[in-house]
Structure 1
């Protein structure tokens, strides 16, 4: 089969089409003929050598796909050959065929096409796990979501609004600000023109927000702690500007804050399956009603994976970036 290989610690131009044997299927796994694969920030970090996959993971790129099931492991009962699914994968999604745990697959909602379906597993599971499954966010809360036009940001804005929250979000341009307002964000802050701490302080009369969802890290960590209300929660899902910093942690004690975070890929298969099941039960009905839908920025052919990574690194996209394999 064809797949995308990359050099260790290589640039985007190191991504290239190659061939390797179609992966074999374990007892609890399915083989998916890939229609589309999602491109995510962890893919870029892995390519750069900054995000090593777990020892049991496929070493190749690609954490989410949509497609049709081509083979079923002997212990898999839910799925059959020919079923249309999207799946959270343990790597290897940039390929014509990909293996996924049967418990990490979801039916493609009837209201969505295969491209939209490929944009669901990684992003929606991440938002569900970090905001809703752990009750970091509850109805009535206010939340600051950084990177409002990223895949995570768009998903979080829509789900938080659906479940009764007030959304503050940060963006880097007027066009992106307009996009987030159209999604339903209550207050959009262009970080190139305004300090989000000052905007939040004025908008909440000094109270702050209940939750911050951040993927930036670096200098944002201390600013996020400042933005939080009493007994607020900072949820960290990435560190694009670094995880090592000098910081005053006194606000955690003084405001009784919670500072938490997680990664998705390193969780056990059972833990991922539980999140996937909860996502299907709680979010799939919303998608079927044509609400909280993924937003697709651009779709590239598999052979142009390097262009997809360059776009991701530029941060000029608004929504998800996909690779078209057989869709």
Structure 2
């Protein structure tokens, strides 16, 4: 038996606001529901949805922990009555429904996976949010296949780094946009076939040059409204636009919709958090079968830019909001 304390340290965000509202507090250790495991967190990932929730624009779904944090890695210390795969002492990484900015966190067992062979807690915790999101959207909704071409925006974000590597590993050609020459170089180092500095170049024109005027098969976009019309122009016949965030806004006005019909385009997108446990479990199973062996072989791994102690979550959020990072921002626990 593992001794579980009655209380833990977690990061509170009060009524919301800027990064300064993130402060350590003490509170009760959560108890796992029947289909959940309780994890003693060793490392936690910082993601854009955390920033949105802290600022008040991304409330947790009903029943989810109000504490920030959508991914963690650590040791299972308790299991629910209907949880059968993991036992106390197993080391897992999990896509949580919230609550990861803490010493202890619950997660549905179906959303937990073993650490890939050779991984430590920090690298394992950097996986779930971006790998679940990219795999489901790029290969599921976007139907990206071998021999096709992908344009991914924000190539040096956690999502971008993951998308570049997975798309290349599954046989696609990848173009990535980024906001500086340094970040473009990082995209190329990650395996992108071409990088586009969106501050110095017009990405629509660059895509035309790179594809001989044909366009790309899939665009993976997190910018939203400002890029919508441009993304449509970047797509080739039967192309797919997959939207996963709206960092630049969600209302697009005066957009010419005719190319959607003329080029037989598909416009789709999704969010991960509201999906059911069964849906997330299906993604987890696909990742374990198709991606975890690549990670164990040293391929497609996360790039960790900087780590902070859990108590310095505010500094981690300031870095996230600066967009100065290349790869993942992480918190260490204990």
TM-score, length-scaled by structure 1:
0.98
- 1:294-305 alignment to 2 at 5 Å? 294-305=302-313
Corresponding residue number in structure 1 for 2:5: none
Structure-1 separation of matches of 2:17 and 2:226:
27
Structure-2 separation of matches of 1:73 and 1:90:
16
Corresponding residue number in structure 2 for 1:320: 328
TM-score, length-scaled by structure 2:
0.96
Note the C-alpha offset of 1:7.
2.6
- Correspondent of 1:94 among 74, 80, 101: 101
Note the C-alpha offset of 1:135.
5.3
Deviates more, 1:295-304 or 1:109-118: 109-118
Corresponding residue number in structure 1 for 2:269: 261
- Secondary structure class of the residue paired with 2:28: coil
Unaligned runs of 5+ in 2: 1-7
Tell me, yes or no, if structure 1 residue 292 matches structure 2 residue 292: no
Verify the 8 A CA contact 2:219 2:240 in the aligned structure 1: yes
- Secondary structure class of the residue paired with 1:201: helix
Tell me, yes or no, if structure 1 residue 195 matches structure 2 residue 211: no
Structure-1 separation of matches of 2:298 and 2:189:
16
Structure-1 separation of matches of 2:86 and 2:119:
19
Deviates more, 1:25-34 or 1:245-254: 245-254
Corresponding residue number in structure 2 for 1:112: 119
RMSD of the alignment, in Å? 0.8
Structure-1 separation of matches of 2:96 and 2:225:
29
Tell me, yes or no, if structure 1 residue 36 matches structure 2 residue 54: no
Structure-2 separation of matches of 1:237 and 1:316:
21
- 1:47-66 alignment to 2 at 5 Å? 47-66=54-73
Structure-2 separation of matches of 1:26 and 1:113:
27
- Correspondent of 2:175 among 168, 180, 183: 168
Note the C-alpha offset of 1:8.
2.7
- Secondary structure class of the residue paired with 2:11: strand
Structure-2 separation of matches of 1:187 and 1:123:
22
- Secondary structure class of the residue paired with 1:198: helix
Tell me, yes or no, if structure 1 residue 308 matches structure 2 residue 316: yes
Q: How many pairs align?
A: 326
- Secondary structure class of the residue paired with 1:79: coil
Corresponding residue number in structure 1 for 2:285: 277
Structure-1 separation of matches of 2:246 and 2:72:
25
Verify the 8 A CA contact 2:142 2:242 in the aligned structure 1: no
Structure-2 separation of matches of 1:173 and 1:7:
35
Structure-2 separation of matches of 1:59 and 1:95:
12
Structure-2 separation of matches of 1:176 and 1:249:
32
- Secondary structure class of the residue paired with 2:144: coil
Corresponding residue number in structure 2 for 1:143: 150
Structure-2 separation of matches of 1:99 and 1:77:
15
Corresponding residue number in structure 2 for 1:222: 229
Note the C-alpha offset of 1:9.
3.3
Corresponding residue number in structure 2 for 1:15: 22
Structure-2 separation of matches of 1:227 and 1:89:
35
The superposition leaves residues 110-159 of structure 1 with CA deviations (integer Å, 9 ceiling, x where unpaired) of 22111000000110010110012345201111010000000000000000
Unaligned runs of 5+ in 1: none
- Cα 1:274–1:91, aligned 2, differ >3 Å: closer, same or farther? same
